Amino acid sequence: MRHVAVLLMVTLVCSSSDESSCLPPTIPNGKYPENSNGWYEDGSRLRITCDGGFEHQNQMNTTICGNGKWSSAPVCERSMSACSAPPKIPHAVIIHGYQEVFAAGSEVQYECEDGYTAEGAHNKKSVCTQGSWTQGPTCSKSEGVTLSLCGSRVSRRYSAKKGTDSAVPWCGARPYIENAVIVEEGPMYLKYQCNGFYNLAGPEAVNCYSDRSWSELPTCEEAFCVVDPARYAGYGLAVTQSEYMREGEQKDFPCTARDKYIYVQCTNRRIALSQCNYLSLYI
């Protein structure tokens, strides 16, 4: 009975202490030093640092824990000099992790797809300057090919230089499909394949008809989810930049609570999250 009384007294003391403490605050587009205990004592002061491309509203950057609640939390708003996602360039991919906002001075590098070479921008980079991106490279077809038409050999070299388009002799310019590349080409047909994070919807092959028209074109549909730290911070997710996840992919992300992880799955382009827990409980 004495042991029970002692245990009850300890429990009451801990509860009293917890009531005046604060849980980690949710600061969209901002971060702060994490406490290994997972909570902050009464009177704790946090200095918030905004993510790249964001700045403090009204110059306020601290919040204080008092009686279990945080004072007015700082707001990280998008900077006027920040840039949105960089522009897409036909036949090129961006070598950079996905994010929606870039700080002024940020650089992204483009790489042309196989069979294409860069023109225009020697360093293949684009820079965020005062809310806009500098001009990136142009990816053009690097080699000519020989095609045959209706059984007879018709030699025709072509190149997708700036201002022109690659062509099938009978139907003319090859259709451009966003986020897709041509992986096979015959005298009267083309086969497309979608880039990573996209699925092909529609026919794989496109045919050239005798009336010089193309058959139905496929499209490349998004097949990914975006783990946005601002959107999911309330779940305890401890990531600072948005990340891509392929359709069906499963991944463990760290939580704000020490040694805990959150299980995330991309299903039907929607994010499903578990509660923060120790990794051993997911195995």
Lowest-pLDDT range, 77-81, 114-118, 242-246?
A: 114-118
Res 23: pLDDT: 85
End-to-end CA distance of the chain: 40
User: Which of 281, 275, 274, 272 is CA-nearest to residue 245?
Assistant: 272
126, 92, 127: which is closest to 111 by C-alpha? 92
- In tens, the pLDDT along 191-222 reads 898 887 888 899 888 888 877 888 899 999 88
Q: Which pairing describes strands 54-56 and 62-66: parallel, antiparallel, or unpaired? A: unpaired
Q: Round to whole Å and give the CA distance between 195 and 229.
A: 25
Q: Span 83-90, mean pLDDT?
A: 85
pTM score:
0.41
Tell me whether residue 50 is exposed, middle or buried, using C-beta atoms within 10 angstroms of its C-beta: 0 to 12, 13 to 18, 19 or more: buried
Would you list the DSSP string of the chain? -HHHHHHHHHHHHHHHHHHHSBPPP--TTEE-PPPTTSSB-TT-EEE-EEPTTEEEGGG--EEEEETTEE-SPP-EEE-TT-B-SPPP-TTEEEES---S-B-TT-EEEEEEPTTEEEES-TT-EEEEETTEEPP--EEEE-----EEETTEEE-------TT---EETTTEEPPP-TTEEEEEE-SSEEEEEEPTTEEEES-SEEEBPTTS-B-PPPEEEE-EEEE-HHHHGGGTB--SS-EEEETT-EEEEEBSSTTEEEEEEEETTEEEE---EEGGGG-
Q: What is the pLDDT of residue 167?
A: 45
Domain 20-75 is found in CATH 2.40.50.140: no
Write out the two tokens for 75. 């707001």
Comparing CA positions, the residue from 56, 25, 60 lying closest to residue 40 is 25
Residue 50 has pLDDT above 50, yes or no: yes
Q: Region 48-57: what's the mean pLDDT?
A: 87
Partners of 45 in the β-ladder? 64
Q: What is the CA radius of gyration of the chain?
A: 27
pLDDT-derived band at 98, boundaries 50, 70, 90: low
Q: What is the CATH number of domain 146-221?
A: 2.10.70.10
Q: Do 104 and 83 form a contact (C-beta atoms < 8 A)?
A: yes
pLDDT digits (tens, 9 = 90+) for 112-128: 877 788 775 456 788 88
Structure tokens given for 247: 């359709």
CA distance 283 to 279: 7
Chain centroid offset of residue 13 CA: 46
What residue spans in the chain does CATH classification 2.10.70.10 cover?
Answer: 20-75, 146-221
**pLDDT tens readout for residues 138-192:** 888 865 443 333 333 333 333 333 333 344 556 778 888 888 888 888 878 888 9
Q: Which CATH class is domain 92-139?
A: mainly beta
Contacts of 280 (CB under 8 A, 6+ apart): none
- Rounded-to-integer distance, Cα 75 and Cα 28, Å: 8
